[in-house]
Amino acid sequence: MIQLDENKLGKLKTTNQSLDEKYGKHGTATREAFNEKAMAWYYGDILRDRRKELKLTQKQLAQKIGKEQSYIARVEKGEVDIQLSSFFRIARALGIEFTPTFNPIR
């Protein structure tokens, strides 16, 4: 069994500490911009995985929703600020049902 060095473990940074150093604390403009890009990438990744499961090309999906293939590519990479209506249209074309929940911001 591998033994862990407690001294080394104590010096490791948490993910939040690393993000604070690189993008600023929660609530700062730079951290919020990072969070927005991360969420765009995350949802794009979900859509890309589902499209591939269905064995659809980006072009086929784009045709289903009346958009260009390049738009789908940018959505999947998290490079475009997608409108909610477009997100739901893409999700529906992929057979994904999203039920939004609304929680107050703390």
Give per-residue pLDDT as tens, 65-102: 999 999 999 999 999 988 989 999 999 999 998 887 88
- Asked whether residue 76 is assigned to any structural domain, the reply reads yes
Can you give the CATH number for the domain in which 73 is found?
A: 1.10.260.40
Q: Residue 47 belongs to what domain range?
A: 17-93
**Number of domains the chain contains:** 1
DSSP element (H, E) containing 47: helix 29-53
| pTM for this prediction | 0.78
The whole-chain average pLDDT of the chain stands at 93
In a domain, 59, yes or no: yes
What residues contact 56, with CB distance under 8 A and at least 6 apart? 94
Q: What is the tens place of the pLDDT at every residue in 32-70?
A: 999 999 999 999 999 999 999 999 999 999 999 999 999
